[in-house]
Amino acid sequence: MAELDRSGSKPPSSTPDSDSLLRRLAGPSVNKAGLAKDQTEINRIIAEVSKGSKFYENEKRKDRELTLRIERILRLRDEAVQGVDLNKVEQGVDKLIAQLEAKRDLSQAIVHVDMDAFFASVEVLDNPELASKPFAVGQGVVSTASYEARKFGVRSGMATFVAKRLCPELIVLPSHFDRYSEMSSRVMSIFRRYDPTMCVAGCDEGYLNITRYCDEHSISPEDCVTQMRRIVQEETSLTVSAGIAPNKMLAKICSDKNKPNGQFKLEFEPEAIKAFMHDLSIRKVPGVGRVNERLLESIGIKTCGDIFRQRAVLSLLDKQFGLEFLLQAYLGIASNVVQPGQREERKSIGAERTFNALSDPAKIYAKLEEVATELEHDMVEEGWTGKTVTLKYKLNTFEVHTRAKSFDRWISTRKEDLFAIGQELLKPELPLTLRLIGLRVTKLKDLKAEAESKARGIKRFFGSASSTGSPQKKRRIEGPQADQDDEDHDHSPRLSQDGFAISMPGYDEDIETDLADASASHGAEPETSLYRHPTAKPKSSSGTPSHSLLSTPSSSKGPSLPPSTSPPRMGKHSPLVLNDSNPFGTSSSALECPICSRMLETDNDGLNAHIDFCLSKQAIKEAQAASLQTAVPSKAAANAEERGAGLLKYKKKG
């Protein structure tokens, strides 16, 4: 019954290398697949090798702050519990549980597919001798490691010199993003045969709803996935693991169950699902990272089953942890809506670079110019402009800071202008010693969409033949079920989870004050907002549970829960799959170009290339020019910049 767990109450004394710090140093991917011999020994080595470095000191600082945060939460808990009938509180929570349970939908077969050691597997394709050898991809930092290397404790995100200490024979390879991107596209197009509306969630993973496919082909979900995985291996020589469950969160967790080249299907039964979640580490829940794992551990929660045991406390600390989000995890309930990501869902574009610490302003500005050049290239190439520029810099102590500036109009994407804005933001901070500098533009405007709509009044179309709800309804997506909070509005609009949650905030920005653009703003897409509902898709990027599980000192107010996800898309470098990112439909064999209407016999890459051609730089330039006519290069730019009120003239790079 209502019983507090004060055991974990005492924050671990942060003595030299507390258990917490050791785990922190081990990195965010420690608990991933690839069983290591002795994690404790590995952690010891990592700490030993890291000790004394700036990086290590910074991790120690963050660990101390986290410890203080835990102390605050425990005090908060103890105060909240005073004079409260915990049994009563539990009864209230139990009502909520009943409501959530009523929303459980087991009618859809959702699959999460995830390539095995992706970058590493692609490297093996190009050099078969690597198979069975311990190797890692990534220079300064490991992007991923072969399963052989994982046995030694090598993990994503780990410094390569640390990895070599753990595995002296480790082979370290440079990255080949173009190859990963190419293989990603191929694999995704195979998955799309099973669900044309699949949601790409990163360069190597995605979600599919195979309910329809299984019906039409009279095949079981398991056989379907077994066949799909076999075909991927036959056609690409890459192995993929998969999870089959009633919703995205469960499917993702399941895809990790039999990780290297395996699959796992969860029983579609409430009791079986709850049993599955009961002993599952809370850390396995998408959206719960290292920090929230520790915060929850401090109040006696390590597994999803503990969520129920501590439900009274969680109810009292709702603001800090997000009760509903955790209860859904406990129940194994989440969204089962699978929809492709949309290009317009992108919310930012940026570039950043790490270098040997610099203090000389001239040299720092030189680095800033480099990132500005890169950013200009990407923005022009992909057709974006925006209204806010954020400068990011990391001190040689690894402390990260950001400085932003917003404009009334769409900014110029010329590198000189981006640089000038960044310089303006950095100058007042200056005497600094930096190891990284970056620029990011947000509040984006999609110039390709503009070019497209100008080219003709095209509408959005991507849907699969039958798609369910037409995007015409005003709100609510109505997929198979869930994703939007049906009825019961109220609750806090919070929870949104990584796209797994069921309810969501209904914000829809779309502000688009349209200063500069009047035309296409979006007059032709009433449904835009609908598609971008925060809910659904998980993505490669995603937010954090922020409020959800975390909290900050005193006050707090909002909702909780992990955020919703965002569009698929891999990094610039990282491969990527402009597939789902482009506003033009799905891919398959015979595709119709949304611009010229010609039927093309090609795959996604081919279609994308063709579309780019159709939209042509000309069309984009026109759009960009139109925007720039009113864009503001920024005063700084005017100064540092050459002649004329830099208006158009954008184009320049090739």
Ligand X SMILES: Nc1ccn([C@H]2C[C@H](O)[C@@H](COP(=O)(O)OP(=O)(O)OP(=O)(O)O)O2)c(=O)n1
Partner DNA sequence: GCGGATCAC
Partner DNA sequence: TATGGTGATCCGC
Positions marked catalytic: 205
Give least dist CB 72 to ligand X, A: 30
Q: Is 313 in the site for Mg ion (CB under 5 A)?
A: no
Binding to DNA by residue 54, rule CB under 7 A? Answer: yes
**Contact call for residue 498 and DNA (CB under 7 A):** yes
DSSP string, 292-359: HHHHHHHTT--BHHHHHHTHHHHHHTHHHH-HHHHHHHHHT----------GGG--EEEEEEEEEEE-
129 token code pair:
């001798």
User: Site for DNA (CB under 7 A): which residue of 92, 260, 523, 571?
Assistant: 571
Query: Using CB under 7 A as the criterion, what x/- string covers residues 128-147 for binding DNA?
Result: ----------x-xx-x----
- To the nearest whole angstrom, how small is the minimum distance from the Cβ of residue 44 to ligand X? 23
Give CA separation, 212 vs 225, 241, 500, 623, in Å: 13, 21, 21, 41
Out of 292, 335, 484, 624, the only residue in the binding site for DNA (CB under 7 A) is 292
**In angstroms, what CA-CA distances link 295 with 78, 321, 526?**
15, 9, 42
| Residue 622 touches which of DNA, ligand X, Mg ion, none (Cβ within 5-8 Å per kind) | none
Which residues inside 172-211 make contact with DNA, applying CB under 7 A? Answer: 201-205
Cβ partners under 8 Å of residue 485, min gap 6: 491, 493, 502, 503, 504
Strand, coil or helix: 200 = strand
The residue among 252, 159, 164 whose CA lies nearest residue 201 is 252
Q: Which residue in 298, 496, 579, 586 binds DNA (CB under 7 A)?
A: 496
- Residue among 32 and 165 whose Cβ is closer to ligand X: 32
**CA 87 and chain centroid, separation:** 38
Q: To the nearest whole angstrom, how small is the minimum distance from the Cβ of residue 401 to DNA?
A: 4
CB of 144 to ligand X, least distance (A): 3
Q: Which of 70, 115, 166, 173 binds Mg ion (CB under 5 A)?
A: 115
**Under the criterion CB under 7 A, does residue 428 sit at the interface with DNA?**
no
Please report, as a single letter, which amino acid is at residue 227.
Q
- Binding-site partner at residue 239 among DNA, ligand X, Mg ion, none, CB < 5 to 8 Å by type: none
By a kind-dependent CB cut-off of 5 to 8 A, residue 380 interacts, out of DNA, ligand X, Mg ion, none, with: none
Task: Round to whole Å and give the CA distance between 569 and 515.
Answer: 29
Phi, psi (degrees; rounded to nearest 5) at 130: -75, -25
The answer to whether 410 and 445 are in contact (CB under 8 A) is yes
Number of other CB atoms surrounding residue 643 within 10 Å: 7
Binding residue for DNA, selected from 11, 153, 196, 287, defined by CB under 7 A: 287
Shortest Å distance, C-beta 289 to DNA: 2
Question: Which CB sits closer to DNA, 214 or 386?
Answer: 386
Among residues 90 and 116, whose Cβ is nearest to ligand X?
A: 116
- Which residues in this chain contact ligand X in the complex, by CB under 6 A? 32-33, 114-119, 143-144, 156-157, 204, 259
Distance of CA 623 to the CA centre of its chain: 30
Count of residues that bind Mg ion according to CB under 5 A: 4
Residue 33 binding target from Mg ion, DNA, ligand X, none, CB below 5 to 8 Å by type: ligand X
Per CB under 7 A, does 300 bind DNA?
A: no
Using an 8 Å Cβ cutoff, are 323 and 314 in contact?
A: yes
Site residues (CB under 5 A) for Mg ion, limited to 186-225 = 204
Cβ proximity to DNA: between 289 and 300 the closer is 289
Residue 126 burial (C-beta neighbours within 10 Å; 0-12, 13-18, 19+): exposed
Give the C-alpha separation, 33 to 42, whole Å: 15
Cβ atoms of 404 and 435 closer than 8 Å = no
Least distance in angstroms from the C-beta of 258 to ligand X: 11
CB of 204 to ligand X, least distance (A): 4
| 16 touches DNA (CB under 7 A) | no
- C-alpha span between 369 and 606 (Å, rounded): 33
Yes or no: say if 583 and 344 are a contact pair by the CB < 8 Å rule: yes
For residue 285, the minimal CB distance to DNA (Å) is 7
240-245 vs 263-265, strand pairing mode: parallel
Contact of residue 456 among Mg ion, DNA, ligand X, none (CB under 5-8 Å per partner type): none
Using the minimum distance from each CB to ligand X, give the nearer residue, 155 or 610: 155
Q: Report the residue from 401, 491, 598, 652 that binds DNA according to the rule CB under 7 A.
A: 401
Other C-beta atoms closer than 10 Å to the C-beta of 487 total 7
Comparing CB distances to DNA, the nearer of 138 and 479 is 138
φ, ψ for residue 411 (rounded to 5)?
A: -80, 160
The interface with DNA within residues 317-376 (CB under 7 A) comprises 319, 345-354, 374
Interatomic CA distance for residues 441 and 349, integer angstroms: 5
Binding marks (x or -) toward Mg ion, 58..97, rule CB under 5 A?
----------------------------------------
Residues 6 or more apart in contact with residue 142 via CB below 8 angstroms: 136, 154, 155, 156, 157, 158, 159, 160, 163, 172
Residue 8 interacts with DNA (CB under 7 A): yes or no? no
Nearest distance from residue 249's CB to ligand X, in Å?
16
498 contact choice in Mg ion, DNA, ligand X, none (CB below 5 to 8 Å, kind-dependent):
DNA
Closest approach, Cβ 609 to DNA, in A, equals: 19
Q: Which does 53 bind (CB under 5 to 8 A by kind): Mg ion, ligand X, DNA, none?
A: DNA
Residues forming contacts to Mg ion in the complex (CB under 5 A) are 114-115, 118, 204
